[in-house]
Structure 1
């Protein structure tokens, strides 16, 4: 095989890889559109629950209590690759927020593989690749949190990529509504309740925690897909640049072969 033929074969391989990456990018674009709808709906749900909680706490404030001594972080990482420093920046945010004392539950195979052997890792859960896989992942996550609560009350935080903020967000989940400023009572009469206030607060907190986790899961998946699109676009451009470079080299070699063929013909003609 001549050098030119080897280059042509390499160009064909690069074209196949480029087509595969372009298909992966298109799939990620489709996932972004779907996740955008889920994320917006879940964000509206969370805001509605937070507003209801603020109104409720304006009349029924939380009793004072000491903050839990144990701090557990939920890290929402990536399950798949082609997303750059997505997991590394998340781990750096955890190091900055928790130090050596905090503990974590890592979601996403690519993330917890990086934390293998870390004594701060309490549990590792395979993450979701698409929006439809969020529910079973969150069920496993809630079970892991419940296991940790058996050892006493804990402060629960979530670290995840928030595309709107453009950085890793740190959201408080437990104690519920600890970061929420109660709304000042609009009247001197508290709202009529069908349940005792403590029971209502417990059920409201449970609904909020679940809604918040769905919001975080969708936000993380959305940021991951968008980062994957940028990463794949850059890779496709590099492949195209490399293919064009090889095509120029191939044309140069072909011209040299033609020149050599002409020289051989002329030499044979002169020898006759």
Structure 2
């Protein structure tokens, strides 16, 4: 294979890779815009539930420590990473934030295959789950996560505190305390709410609604940050790819010019030999 043929072959391969990366970049951009809509809806729902819990706990302070969890329970920390790659140091920053926690580590539930690979030798990992790739996969992942939390809760050491460590929508690392519910809002009403349910039953159902609203919002924020990292990663890679392709095209053109010059030289030499042939 000639040098120019080899360069042309490499150019075709790079063009194919660039097309794939452009498609991945487009998908990441579409997903990012989708999460903006989902998160706005989830945030409104969470604020409504937190307002209701603030009113309830203001007049039923006995439930402030949680419901149905023993005093001797431990903490479970959910780590949300990525299922796919091409997102820079997305998972590494979660691992670094985990390492910066106090010496006494909580039990870990890891969501995301890429993150689980990096923590496979961590002694506190109890369960790892496949993570979502797109928004439509969040709900099935949450179902598996709730089953995993239930198994830990009904085991020999039930947990008292549930937290999440994940990327927020801006790409930073944030820690969220899910349980016990600790609303940051002040109660709106000066009089206790009129209830048709027993307070304990009401608080259990309120907690379930809170988790059902809060956890999807955290997953959407993590996926948004992941896709922004992937978008940035793809843009940088495409810039480097374009530079490489341009270099190869210039090299291919130079080699083609050399071939043309060689062909012209051969033609001239052939013509000269014909002119000087005595026969």
Q: Which residue number corresponds to residue 20 of structure 1?
A: 20
State the secondary structure of the residue aligned to 1:122: strand
Higher Cα Rg: structure 1 or 2? Answer: 2
2:109 aligned with 1:105? yes
Whole-angstrom distance in 2 between the partners of 1:182 and 1:82 = 39
Deviations 1:180-206 (A, max 9, x none): 24625643x322111222322222122
Deviations 1:147-166 (A, max 9, x none): 111222321110111123x3
Q: Which residue number corresponds to residue 163 of structure 1?
A: 169
1:183 alignment partner, one of 146, 166, 186? 186
Residue 63 of structure 1 and its aligned partner are, at CA, apart by: 5.2
Alignment root-mean-square deviation, CA: 2.0
Whole-angstrom distance in 2 between the partners of 1:81 and 1:64 = 40
TM-score when scaled to structure 1? 0.91
2:178 alignment partner, one of 165, 173, 181? 173
Which consecutive unaligned segments of at least 5 residues does structure 1 have? Answer: none
Query: Bigger shift: 31-40 or 84-93?
Result: 31-40
2:203 alignment partner, one of 198, 201, 204? 201
Whole-angstrom distance in 1 between the partners of 2:24 and 2:16 = 13
Deviations 1:5-51 (A, max 9, x none): 11011101100111111111112222222222112111111111111
Counterpart mapping for 1:143-154 below 5 A: 143-150=147-154, 151-154=157-160
State the secondary structure of the residue aligned to 1:169: strand
Give structure 1 regions of 4+ aligned residues with deviation exceeding 6 angstroms: none
2:49 aligned with 1:44? no
1:142 alignment partner, one of 107, 129, 146? 146
Which consecutive unaligned segments of at least 5 residues does structure 2 have? Answer: none
Whole-angstrom distance in 1 between the partners of 2:50 and 2:10 = 57
User: How many equivalent pairs are there?
Assistant: 268
Query: Bigger shift: 212-221 or 255-264?
Result: 255-264
2:82 alignment partner, one of 66, 78, 86? 78
TM-score when scaled to structure 2? 0.89
Q: Which residue number corresponds to residue 253 of structure 1?
A: 255
Q: Residues 98 and 155 from structure 1, CA distance in 2 versus in 1: closer, same or farther, beyond 3 angstroms?
A: farther
Whole-angstrom distance in 2 between the partners of 1:7 and 1:54 = 67
